[in-house]
């Protein structure tokens, strides 16, 4: 099986998030934080240049903060008038923040504020729609400074996260996903934290072979015995085909961890061998895969 590789892209190390209130800036911040960005919400503009020093230390080789994302919006009183000038100050320090502007349609913003029951920060007593339109007009010049404009009108929290993971993870396929394949015995109860669960109690059981009963699925004799059973290879292949279909899609959606449960009766023989086999196959396919065996010593 061909080994899967991930191609890393260059990505902005300094991101400024701004835009219309209710357009998804908080959700974007959460997503970037999960991607390893140091995030600050509602940073005062007067602190922007000072914060920039943390990204450009004297020797430029060991920055205090490697990746940062700042949210600056209309709640900051000097934002509209001073933001362009602050960007110029950063440019003099050889800092070029990547400005992302979030927006959405009037009706979507109205619905979001109605659902959350939060007051609009630009409300001057003329109603919600007037506040939204006033903020849109006030931010028109800021919008022109953006490197990326994201309209979240048609996005859910999940689809917006997916978009941001694709753009800011640094990898073409999103964040590298960590996979744990955990064997267990059904007689001791199903694990609670697995995302996917497969049952292998239909496979021939080495427990009933007198010379194999005392061994585990990590012993060569057990592996050899199960490898001789056509059903075992067929089952592993079918599990593999499904996982190689699902895991890239989980990764694309920004899922960082997936735990796969493999259960047999006692958790010592079949499930252990199959879990280890799947781990090796997934590693060969380029995934960060490990295996663990909950009940192997029981």
Q: Tell me: pLDDT of 64 over 70.
A: no
Burial of 218: CB neighbours in 10 Å, binned 0-12, 13-18, 19+: middle
pLDDT band at 60 (very low <50, low <70, confident <90, very high): low
- What mean pLDDT is reported for the chain? 87
Whether residue 149 contacts residue 143, with contact meaning beta carbons closer than 8 Å, is answered with yes
CA 112 to chain centre: 24
pLDDT band at 246 (very low <50, low <70, confident <90, very high): very high
Q: Please indicate, yes or no, whether residues 20 and 154 belong to a single structural domain of this protein.
A: yes
Whether residue 190 contacts residue 271, with contact meaning beta carbons closer than 8 Å, is answered with no
Q: Please indicate, yes or no, whether residues 19 and 139 belong to a single structural domain of this protein.
A: yes
Whether residue 125 contacts residue 102, with contact meaning beta carbons closer than 8 Å, is answered with no
H helix or E strand, kind and range, residue 99: strand 98-103
Q: Please indicate, yes or no, whether residues 18 and 159 belong to a single structural domain of this protein.
A: yes
CA distances 50 to 30, 144, 231, Å, are: 23, 25, 64
Q: Please indicate, yes or no, whether residues 189 and 153 belong to a single structural domain of this protein.
A: no
pLDDT band at 132 (very low <50, low <70, confident <90, very high): very high
Whether residue 119 contacts residue 61, with contact meaning beta carbons closer than 8 Å, is answered with no
pLDDT band at 115 (very low <50, low <70, confident <90, very high): confident
Q: Would 7 be classed as within a structural domain? A: no
pLDDT more than 90, % of the chain: 54
Query: What pTM was estimated for this model as a whole?
Result: 0.63
Q: Please indicate, yes or no, whether residues 208 and 163 belong to a single structural domain of this protein.
A: no
Q: Tell me: pLDDT of 92 over 80.
A: yes
pLDDT more than 70, % of the chain: 90
pLDDT band at 2 (very low <50, low <70, confident <90, very high): very low
Q: Please indicate, yes or no, whether residues 248 and 106 belong to a single structural domain of this protein.
A: no
Q: Would 102 be classed as within a structural domain? A: yes
Tell me how many domains the chain contains: 2
Last residue in a domain, options 136, 168, 200: 168
Whether residue 239 contacts residue 197, with contact meaning beta carbons closer than 8 Å, is answered with no
Q: Tell me: pLDDT of 61 over 60.
A: no
Q: Domain range for residue 251?
A: 178-293
Q: In what order do the strands lie in the sheet containing 257-264?
A: 196-199, 257-264, 178-185, 288-293
Matching residue, tokens 């059981």: 205
């Amino acid at each position: 099986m061909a080994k899967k590789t991930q191609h890393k892209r260059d990505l902005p190390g300094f991101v400024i998030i701004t835009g219309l209130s209710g357009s998804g800036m908080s959700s974007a911040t959460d997503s970037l934080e999960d991607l390893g960005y140091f995030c600050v919400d509602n940073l005062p503009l007067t602190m922007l240049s000072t914060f920039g020093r943390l990204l450009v230390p004297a020797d430029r080789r060991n920055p205090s903060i490697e990746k940062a994302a700042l949210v600056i919006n209309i709640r900051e009183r000097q934002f509209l008038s001073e933001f362009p000038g602050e960007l110029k100050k950063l440019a003099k320090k050889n800092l070029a923040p990547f400005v992302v502007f979030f927006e959405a349609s009037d009706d979507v913003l109205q619905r979001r504020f109605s659902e959350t029951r939060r007051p609009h920060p630009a409300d001057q007593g003329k109603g919600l729609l007037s506040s939204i339109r006033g903020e849109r007009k006030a931010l028109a010049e800021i919008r022109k400074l953006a490197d990326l404009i994201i309209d979240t009108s048609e996005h859910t929290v999940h689809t917006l996260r997916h978009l941001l993971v694709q753009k800011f993870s640094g990898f073409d396929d999103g964040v590298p996903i960590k996979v744990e394949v955990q064997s267990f015995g059904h007689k001791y109860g199903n694990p609670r934290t697995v995302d996917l669960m497969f049952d292998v109690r239909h496979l021939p059981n080495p427990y009933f072979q007198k010379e194999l009963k005392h061994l585990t699925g990590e012993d060569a004799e057990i592996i050899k015995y199960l490898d001789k059973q056509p059903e075992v290879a067929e089952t592993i292949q079918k599990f593999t085909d499904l996982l190689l279909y699902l895991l890239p899609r989980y990764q694309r959606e920004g899922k960082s961890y997936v735990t796969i449960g493999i259960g047999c009766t006692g958790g010592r023989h079949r499930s252990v061998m199959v879990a280890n086999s799947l781990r090796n196959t997934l590693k060969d396919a380029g995934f960060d895969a490990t295996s663990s065996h909950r009940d192997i010593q029981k």
